[in-house]
Amino acid sequence: MPAYLQDLTGEGTGLPTSYEKTQVDGYGVMNLRLGIGSDNWRVTAFARNLLDEDYVGEVILAPEFGGGFMTPGNERTAGVELEYMF
């Protein structure tokens, strides 16, 4: 194995590295946005991750620490926006 690949995998560096826990399964996230308004106003309701799906938002590989760091995805978020144009 070339030296530059050994450094990426941790092999040959003396570091016990395993990436088997950094594999992420596929997922789907549903967002929703509904609004109503006229010429000078608008009210909009929104939801992100409507079904509150648990998913991995980010994986940072760190062979120097023996694997990687995982960050969870965003939880369900909902809100209302009010807009007035003058």
Instruction: Kindly tell me if the per-residue pLDDT of 1 is higher than 50.
Output: no
Residue 9 three-state SS: helix
Closest residue by Cα to residue 85 from 26, 22, 43? 43
> What does the pLDDT read at residue 48?
96
Distance CA 35, CA 58 (A): 31
List, for residues 45-71, the tens digit of each pLDDT value: 999 999 999 888 888 877 777 677 888
* Both structure tokens of 74: 């965003």
- Specify the pTM: 0.61
pLDDT of 61: 79
- Side-chain half-sphere of 19: how many Cα atoms within 13 Å? 12
Two tokens, residue 58? 């980010």
> What's the mean pLDDT in 1-11?
47
CB atoms within 10 A of CB 52: 12
Q: Determine what percent of the chain is predicted with pLDDT higher than 70.
A: 72
